[in-house]
Structure 1
Amino acid sequence: MKSLTSLQHLSDQAILSILEQADGTEFPDFANRMAANVFLEPSTRTRCSFEMAEMNLGMRSLSIDEAGSSLQKGETLYDTVKTLEAIGVSAVIIRSKEKAFYNELQDVHIPIINAGDGSGDHPTQSLLDLLTIKQEFGSFRSLQIVISGDIRHSRIASANASVLKRLGAEVWFSGPQEWMPDGITPISADEGCRQADVWMSLRTQLERHDAMEPVFPNYLEQFGLTPERAERFKPHTILMHPGPVNRGVELHTSLVEAPFSRIFKQMANGVKVRQAVLAEVLKTKEEKRYEKAV
């Protein structure tokens, strides 16, 4: 795997292999490697877990944000990444508000890892979600997954739905009709709670809404996960959320750390998954370098 920009570019077997590595592999030491974390949108979980993964692998890292970089002076993302390549960076992790930003980086020769591209994709988040589900159920076959919230603006919803269906799960959407992609009719929160094996709440992406989009002041009562709705869960149902959680909005604050919540386990799995992805792209880079030398 040269880079990771979307799970759509990986086979089912490649995805499952990354999950297996993340959940038990001893990784080699990458003490002579440098990662650059280029975060052009705010982030806590993704940025910190990449930094922790890099430290666990023995790597050194650079952190770059838009305010402190030449992007503020008009430099393109391509030239920023080519600069990092030129000074010896081994891999670049990028979060951007621009969907599919990686398309302009075709002539970059170091691994690119997509840490979130606008409302497009977030492959390492999808992988950590998959790992959390796999640890719980062992398989994805026939699981009922309900993704609830701001579906249309979420990079998590579309990416997760696609890969979960590929792996055999059934996926349902719940939330306001106005926040659904064209052609999608949501199920009610009450119905979703009854059938879900996994309930995945999403944050409302207000920063991606335009001024004409509706606001739901009683969102939690109308569409969110309340304690009353959670009582309809099956005994084995788990609650997930990619974060950040807006307590009291998409789910009641008492449920964030409920016994069936796996929200903080997802965060821990983020470090495992990002270690596995970094190790895989760096290994591929080394293999290609060896092939050229031979």
Structure 2
Amino acid sequence: MIMTNTTVKQRSLLGLKGMSQPELVSILDRAAYWDAHTEKQVSVLQSRFVANMFFENSTRTRFSFEMAEKRLGAEVLNFTSAVSSVEKGESIYDTVRTLESMGIDAGIIRLKPSGVLQELAEKVNVPLINAGDGNNEHPTQGLLDLYTMRQEFGELKGLHVAIVGDILHSRVARSNLWALQTMGVKVSFCAPNNMRADDMGDVSYISMEEALQADVVMMLRVQLERHAVGMLKSAEEYRLQYGLTEERAARMKKHAIIMHPAPVNRNVEIDDALVESPKSKIFPQMQNGVPIRMAVIERALRN
């Protein structure tokens, strides 16, 4: 079957901003189906070829997508820019067009520049799935976070989610904000002044003490390399002001949960003892990435 451009756009997943509540729910419901599926591998996408095109380093996201693809029975092609012609100057567009010409049925793309993915999607005739683009969005992370919250609380509407950390550079914060607000969730941010963003619409910044009273306390990874440009005076100072310490976690609501997109800087944004504590859903989040990505890939490729 040759897909029309409209069909391709509908099956692509470039971001969660603007996605309707019924569409979000349909992906979460399909992920629940795959989560409950006992067979390790099915032939739903047999003879379909999926290319994982990672122009930015990744471990968890790439392996999670590959696991999802193989569980659905797809043929998987992997490459990273470090071992491709991109290092020699070939553009991202030419790389994607080359793989499209070779016959891939869908592309999973992770890249550093924001906005490029939208342009690519207009020019190619295969569905594209955003695996993280710059500081823009990380839609499958947002979806797996919603899925984890729904798993814990049953209903998303009415929850209060506090997202703590470097909001300015966080694609995870953006995808979560757009999707959670669509689902009727109250979202608050907590961040140092130089890590706040002014492009996020109607969302309030609260203190760390206030953030501890949310139903979900989501800690963002601190980019320690930004020490060099003065965004952080030190990891120790960040932990003292914005880290989720054991003492702070003790003041959280009894039913509240801790989340983090990983990788975790232990004893910086979150104390080591909390990472696998009863309140923590960090490893369940990683586990939930596979069924979510199965649902998204199936959505892109099934008739």
TM-score (structure 2 length as normaliser): 0.89
Amino acid of the structure 1 residue aligned with 2:162:
V
> 2:150 aligned with 1:131, yes or no?
no
Amino acid of the structure 1 residue aligned with 2:133:
D
Partner of 1:118: 134
> 2:183 aligned with 1:174, yes or no?
no
The structural deviation recorded for 1:266 is 0.4
Question: Which segment is superposed worse, 1-10 or 248-257?
Answer: 1-10
Q: Is the 8 A contact 2:162 2:214 kept in 1?
A: yes
> 2:297 aligned with 1:278, yes or no?
yes
Partner of 1:292: none
Match of 2:219 among 175, 195, 201: 201
- Give identity over the alignment, percent: 48
Amino acid of the structure 2 residue aligned with 1:46:
T
The structural deviation recorded for 1:103 is 2.4
| Separation in structure 2 between the aligned mates of residue 223 and residue 196 of structure 1, nearest angstrom | 15
Question: Which segment is superposed worse, 19-28 or 104-113?
Answer: 19-28
In structure 2, the CA distance between the partners of 1:110 and 1:207, relative to structure 1 (3 Å rule), is farther
- Secondary structure (helix, strand or coil) at the match of 1:273 reads helix
Partner of 2:211: 192
| Separation in structure 2 between the aligned mates of residue 255 and residue 7 of structure 1, nearest angstrom | 29
Instruction: After TM superposition, list the pairs within 5 Å mapping 1:128-167 onto structure 2.
Output: 128-167=144-183
The structural deviation recorded for 1:209 is 7.6
| Separation in structure 2 between the aligned mates of residue 11 and residue 49 of structure 1, nearest angstrom | 25
CA offsets 1:95-147 (integer angstroms, 9 cap, x no match): 00011221231120011000000111000000000000011111111111010
Structure 2 unpaired stretches of 5+:
1-9
In structure 2, the CA distance between the partners of 1:161 and 1:274, relative to structure 1 (3 Å rule), is same
Partner of 2:233: 215
Partner of 2:254: 235
TM-score (structure 1 length as normaliser): 0.91
> 2:115 aligned with 1:78, yes or no?
no
Amino acid of the structure 2 residue aligned with 1:99:
S
Q: Is the 8 A contact 1:35 1:89 kept in 2?
A: yes
| Separation in structure 2 between the aligned mates of residue 233 and residue 157 of structure 1, nearest angstrom | 21
- Secondary structure (helix, strand or coil) at the match of 2:51 reads strand
In structure 2, the CA distance between the partners of 1:171 and 1:9, relative to structure 1 (3 Å rule), is closer
Amino acid of the structure 1 residue aligned with 2:32:
D
Q: Is the 8 A contact 1:132 1:269 kept in 2?
A: yes
| Separation in structure 2 between the aligned mates of residue 122 and residue 32 of structure 1, nearest angstrom | 28
- Secondary structure (helix, strand or coil) at the match of 2:205 reads coil
Question: Which segment is superposed worse, 27-36 or 234-243?
Answer: 27-36
Supply the RMSD in Å over aligned alpha carbons: 1.7
Amino acid of the structure 2 residue aligned with 1:213:
M
| Separation in structure 2 between the aligned mates of residue 215 and residue 144 of structure 1, nearest angstrom | 30
The structural deviation recorded for 1:20 is 0.2
Q: Is the 8 A contact 1:203 1:243 kept in 2?
A: yes
- Secondary structure (helix, strand or coil) at the match of 1:146 reads strand
The structural deviation recorded for 1:198 is 0.3
- Secondary structure (helix, strand or coil) at the match of 1:8 reads coil
Amino acid of the structure 2 residue aligned with 1:153:
H
Partner of 1:256: 275
| Separation in structure 2 between the aligned mates of residue 62 and residue 207 of structure 1, nearest angstrom | 31
The structural deviation recorded for 1:165 is 1.3
> 2:15 aligned with 1:6, yes or no?
yes
Partner of 1:21: 30
Structure 1 unpaired stretches of 5+:
288-294
In structure 2, the CA distance between the partners of 1:209 and 1:91, relative to structure 1 (3 Å rule), is farther
- Secondary structure (helix, strand or coil) at the match of 1:133 reads helix
The structural deviation recorded for 1:72 is 1.4
The structural deviation recorded for 1:166 is 1.6
- Secondary structure (helix, strand or coil) at the match of 2:233 reads coil
| Separation in structure 1 between the aligned mates of residue 225 and residue 138 of structure 2, nearest angstrom | 17
Partner of 2:6: none
| Separation in structure 2 between the aligned mates of residue 208 and residue 38 of structure 1, nearest angstrom | 26
Match of 1:55 among 48, 70, 90: 70
